[in-house]
A and B are shown apart, each in its own frame.
Chain A
Amino acid sequence: MSENVTYFFYDLFQYLVNGLAQGSIYALIALGYTMVYGIIKLINFAHGEFYMIGAFIGFYCLVSGMPLWMAFPAAMIGAGLVAVLVEKIVYRPIRHAGRIPALITALGTSLLFQYLGQGVIGADPKAFPSAIAEKTYMLGEVIITRTQIIIMVVTFALMVILYWLVNHTKTGKAMRATSFNMNAAELMGINTNKIISFTFFIGAALAGAAGVLVGMYYNTAEPMMGLIPGLKAFIAAVLGGIGIIPGAVIGGLVLGVAENLVVGFWISTYRDAIAFAILILILLIKPAGILGKNRKEKV
């Protein structure tokens, strides 16, 4: 093999590794988008803020000297509880008001948290403590960092737990029942409000986990950090087929890898536009998303 071809493959694998790490983050956030959409048909644009809140809970826990293994679940639970409150106080009262009011409310909630964050925490980025000693591993010429490995392993573990929860527990089955039809679920004796709260909790806890992982990856956290990843995760959810849980994972990984490949091999200036280009492309070919069944959506 000529040297050029070898380097091409090293580059390719490097972008794949970076893309999978990045994509894992998108997938973790996208899961909450898709689960909440699946259950109450709400595009929760404030979901990116749960990720930001998770990052800051992790930040303050670590700064106060808490070990990572405690700060991490604390960030997940904290973000989850904030989401439960947001659902109860903000979304529940307008649940039957229609889609446009719900969408506007979600946007407002998102802005509220961004500006609240700037007011309370300050707009300047905080240096996220490096909770673990960074180390790099070489696979040939391909570099993989310890944080990247942690991101991928933790994401994978959380997804296995989520899969088990949704498919093999009574509560998970009740979630699926509720997302099919709320009245039918109530007729089983399922308290659908509780199930919806629980869904917000799980979705936001995953986003909170992503927040801490990103804090560790880029060593920074700031109140606006949820905006772009939130949008990308939304794109990932739509890409995979919104409302479909495995779709969020596939959408996230596809988006992460595609972004890194395009940026690496081609142009780096339009990184954030690439996500939208991919979205438009896939939706032209398959309007319901990668795993979506092409049935007509009631909008």
Chain B
Amino acid sequence: MSSPLLEIKDMHVHYGAIHAIQGINIKVNQGEIVTILGSNGAGKTTTLHSISGLIPISSGEILFDGKPIHTFPAHKIVAEGVAQSPEGRMVFPDLTVQENLEMGAYLREDNHKIKEDLEYMFKLFPRLLERKKQLAGTLSGGEQQMLAIARAYMANPRLLLLDEPSLGIAPILVQAIFDAIVEINKHGTTILLVEQNAYAALKIAHRAYVIATGEMFMEGPANELIKNEEIQKAYLGH
């Protein structure tokens, strides 16, 4: 059996005295969509930030393709093949849509493949093509979200981390964005998706983890969790 693409082993993270992540284990296999669910402040963003190297971990391990990456600076982790579309989108408002996408491909030299990926993103998100020359700061929230995902994709990652892509976005656009995530996954990119919109995430994910106040609360195949009573009560509003 091949080793998982991403493996988090007994990870702890502190913000000063706050013990935000208290020993969690996560595995993501090649080709999967895995989702991390949890309510406000559960530790989802902290987990993604730790994977990306933006927050140091206090103990434990993060292995990417078997290699420990938790001591790397953030930009080196991108070079390893992990890209992130961060919470709140963080598109560069004073750069155009096109320039934002160029920044996504910052470390790449393979110009032909970059152009191919760019065309693929424009096909997936035609709104971005129409607004190619527009400053990203003038886009709507939903369009900025598309841009943030496309920008992360432009790094040509083996693992794409998405932090709450449905946050603050009109329901019609949420569907379009989740369809795009499925399409990107089918195209060959492994995805780790953080969501509060548990229902939408469980519908597209293969497996799911549920974090509650920094600890693993539950994990399993998405189609089982979606039927689980506890999950339905706590996260699906049934």
Contacts and interface: CB of A to CB of B under 8 A. Distances in A.
B91 to A, nearest CB: 8
A256 B78 CA distance: 46
A185 B74 CA distance: 9
Nearest to B107: A189
A268 interface: no
B90 A188 contact: no
Contacts of A177: 92, 95, 103
B134 to A, nearest CB: 16
Contact of B94 (A176, A189, A192): A176
A97 B83 CA distance: 29
Contact of B106 (A176, A181, A188): A188
A90 interface: no
A174 B73 CA distance: 17
Contact of A191 (B75, B84, B90, B92): B75
Contacts of A188: 75, 78, 103-104, 106-107, 151, 155
Nearest to B54: A183
Interface in A178-231: 180-181, 183-192
A170 interface: yes
A173 B74 contact: no
A192 B78 CA distance: 13
Contacts of A176: 92, 94-95
Interface string B95-125: 1000100111011000000000000000000
A187 B157 CA distance: 12
Contacts of A180: 92-94
Nearest to B80: A189
A183 B74 contact: yes
A164 B75 CA distance: 25
A49 B74 CA distance: 33
A90 B26 CA distance: 40
Nearest to B93: A180
Interface residues of B, number: 25
Nearest to B152: A187
B95 A187 contact: no
A189 B79 contact: yes
Interface residues of A, number: 17
A183 to B, nearest CB: 5
B103 A190 contact: yes
Contacts of A170: 102, 106
B86 interface: yes
A173 B102 contact: yes
Nearest to B94: A176
Nearest to A178: B92
A167 to B, nearest CB: 10
A186 B75 contact: yes
Given A180-B94, A183-B90, A189 B78 contact: yes
B49 to A, nearest CB: 8
Given A173-B99, A183-B86, A184-B86, A189 B92 contact: no
Contacts of B90: 181, 183-184, 187
B157 to A, nearest CB: 10
A172 to B, nearest CB: 10
A187 B92 contact: no
A186 B73 contact: yes
Contacts of A184: 86, 90, 92
Contacts of B92: 176-177, 180-181, 184
B165 to A, nearest CB: 15
B107 A187 contact: no
Contact of A187 (B83, B93, B94, B102): B83
B74 to A, nearest CB: 4
A186 B84 CA distance: 10
Nearest to B100: A177
A173 B102 CA distance: 9
B47 interface: no
A181 B136 CA distance: 14
Contact of A174 (B54, B79, B106): B106
Contacts of A190: 75, 103, 106
Contacts of B75: 186, 188-192
A174 B74 contact: no
Contacts of B102: 170, 173
Interface in B129-165: 151-152, 155
A189 B73 CA distance: 10
B46 interface: no
Given A183-B54, A188-B107, 9 more contacts: A173-B102, A177-B95, A177-B103, A183-B90, A186-B78, A187-B90, A188-B104, A189-B155, A191-B75
6 contacts: A176-B95, A180-B92, A186-B73, A188-B103, A188-B104, A188-B106
